[in-house]
Amino acid sequence: MNIGSFSLAWDLVLKSVTILFMGIGLLVIPIFPGLVVIWAAALGYGVVSGFGVLGWTMFALITLLMLGGSILDQILMSTRAHKEGTPWWVVTMAMVSAILGSLLIPIPIIGGILTALVVLFLIQMIRLRHPQMVLSSMRGMLTGFGWSLLFRFIIGLVMISLWLIWALA
């Protein structure tokens, strides 16, 4: 390997690591696909550097983790609120409002979580007129957000670890 290609390889690794860790940072934003960003960085690395047997194996595992983590994310956020007595249609309205809130107000906490909680609060208050039950629903959704964040973070770290095994082999 000559000096130019060695430099190019490390440049690619450094750029990939930057994007991978941006993905980890974006995991704190509800609704934002941080796991997809990590997956896309691994895909970009594979396209540029070549996959090989190890690369395809690691990329397949990274893909499965991204898909599973994305599904788990949505399940955890909504199930906790539902377990606290919130009907699925109300949970769905809150989740849709979180997506729209993230698009309309690009400040993560205000745009996503707060919008979902406000919609959940308003609908539940109109439905139930019982503040304790409404607060219980909101606590359930917040607990779901917290568990979701924890699992997305762990899955993101595992994805990056698999990429490191691939990139440094």
DSSP output for 95-117: HHHHHHHHHHS-SHIIIIIIHHH
In contact, 58 and 163? CB cutoff 8 Å: yes
Q: How far is 105 from 29, CA to CA, in rounded Å? A: 12
Which tokens sit at 160? 């990056």
Q: What is the mean pLDDT of residues 103-108?
A: 72
Q: Please tell me which residue, 104 or 151, carries the higher pLDDT value.
A: 151
Both structure tokens of 159: 């994805």
146: CB partners within 8 A, 6+ apart: none
Q: What is the DSSP code (8-state) at residue 130?
A: -
- Among 43-47, 71-75, 161-165, which is the least confidently predicted range? 71-75
Cβ-contact 137, 69 below 8 angstroms: no
**133 torsion bin: left (phi>0), alpha (psi -120 to 50), beta (else):** alpha
Task: Kindly tell me if the per-residue pLDDT of 4 is higher than 70.
Answer: no
Bigger pLDDT: 57 or 100? Answer: 57
| Per-residue pLDDT, 122 | 94
| pLDDT-derived band at 102, boundaries 50, 70, 90 | confident
CA distance 122 to 39: 36
Q: What is the mean pLDDT of the chain?
A: 84
Distance CA 30, CA 79 (A): 15
The residue behind tokens 């993230």 is 102
Instruction: For residues 118 and 75, give the distance between their C-alpha atoms in angstroms, rounded to a whole number.
Output: 20
pLDDT of residue 12: 72
**CA trace torsion 25, 53, 50, 38 (10° rounding):** -10
Greater confidence, 155 or 111? 155
Tell me the pLDDT band of 19, cut-offs 50, 70 and 90: confident
What pLDDT is stored for residue 35 in this prediction? 87
Does the pTM surpass 0.85? The reply is no
Per-residue confidence band for 1, with pLDDT thresholds at 50, 70 and 90: very low
Instruction: Specify the range with the lowest mean pLDDT, choosing from 61-70, 109-118, 157-166.
Output: 109-118
Of 79 and 33, the one with more pLDDT:
79
